[in-house]
Amino acid sequence: MTPLNQLQAFEYALESTAPVSVPRRAPGTRSLFLGPRGLRAGWRILIFIALLAGLFGGVVLVRSGGLQGLRNAHKHLDQITMTPFLIGISEAITLAILCLATLVMGGIENRKFSEYGLPLRQPLGKDFGIGCLCGFLSISGTLLTMFLLHGFRITGFALHGKAILYALSEWAIAFIIVGLSEEFLNRGYLQYTLASGIGFWPAAFVMSAFFAFGHAFNPHETAAGVASVMLFGLLLCLFLRRSGTLWCAVGFHAAYDWGQTLFGVPDSGIAPYHSLFSSTFSGPQWLTGGIVGPEASALTPIALALVAFIFTRCYRKNRYGL
């Protein structure tokens, strides 16, 4: 080996044994922002909420015609009658915004839209039908028990002729949209992302509390009614956990609300509008729920517990993605 080659070999040996310089991260940067699954759940939720706030704010301003129109609309908010059309349009806009924000987050996280609990390939299918059956039987059984205890009775028909078909159809469509909107808000992206950080049932309790908090602002709502909404939320999370999608929860939510309107009873403190029957309550508030409606009755937690028991016997495996 020539002296030149020996010199080159010596230089190469020095380079190969020299310590490698690794750029140092700022202390705590990775643990604060990044976890095993990438960006931590809390930051993803904050981004999602910011997206919702921006989209909702823009839509509200456009619909109100600017800030002054928004102020004027707020003054007359309590004078608005909750018709099927008004509720359906409002909830449809909410659902569209939720879907858009979820699609954006799915693109950022490289996940499919269906992973967040609402696969569009199976809308209004078997799980939806089972949910509808459970929801309608739940409210019907509650009111039947209340009737047997002399706390509820139907006094007659509130609608006649073609108005019956129109009202029941319009309310069915409106409440399906309500079920989709509220379930996707409370048990869609937020439930999935929070569960990825703290586990499914801790996330379910947090989101059910959020669900109840939202209902606390309904007119005439009581503590008993809010507590029942919390239980509703946990039951709907059970549907999600065992069925793997939100369709069963959407069906239950829609049918329960539709049943309350059918029988002419208040829904979370909101008086019925264009219901099939006229009805009346009598007896103690713990039995009837008073002006809040069956939601605040002591019979409702019993009905929900019975539904949960039967459902867990039929759906024995956890099918949710997390």
Q: What is the CA radius of gyration of the chain?
A: 27
Residue 22 has a pLDDT of 36
Q: How far is the C-alpha of 24 from the C-alpha of 6, rounded, in Å?
A: 36
- The string of DSSP letters for 134-179 reads HHHHHHHHHHHHHHHTTSEEEEEES--THHHHHHHHHHHHHHHHHH
Query: How confident is the model at residue 61, as a pLDDT?
Result: 79
How far, in Å, CA of 190 to CA of 260, rounded? 28
- Element (DSSP H or E) covering residue 32: helix 29-33
User: In the prediction, which pLDDT does 9 show?
Assistant: 43
- What are the C-alpha distances in Å from 169 to residues 42, 96, 125? 41, 22, 19
Nearest to 154 by CA among 281, 282, 260, 279: 279
Alpha carbon of residue 211 to chain centroid: 7
Average pLDDT for 194-217: 94
| The pTM of the whole model exceeds 0.95 | no
| Among 182, 124, 141, 144, residue whose Cα is nearest residue 305 | 141
| Residues 141-158: tens digit of each pLDDT | 999 999 999 999 999 999
Helices (H) and strands (E) in the chain, counts: 13, 4
Q: Would you place residue 210 in the very low, low, confident or very high pLDDT band (cuts 50, 70, 90)?
A: very high
pLDDT digits (tens, 9 = 90+) for 73-122: 445 445 556 789 999 999 999 999 999 999 999 999 999 999 999 998 77
Give residue-wise pLDDT tens across range 47-76. Answer: 999 999 999 888 887 876 655 554 554 454
Spell out the domain ranges in the chain. 123-314
211-249 confidence digits (pLDDT tens)? 999 888 887 889 999 999 999 999 999 999 999 999 999
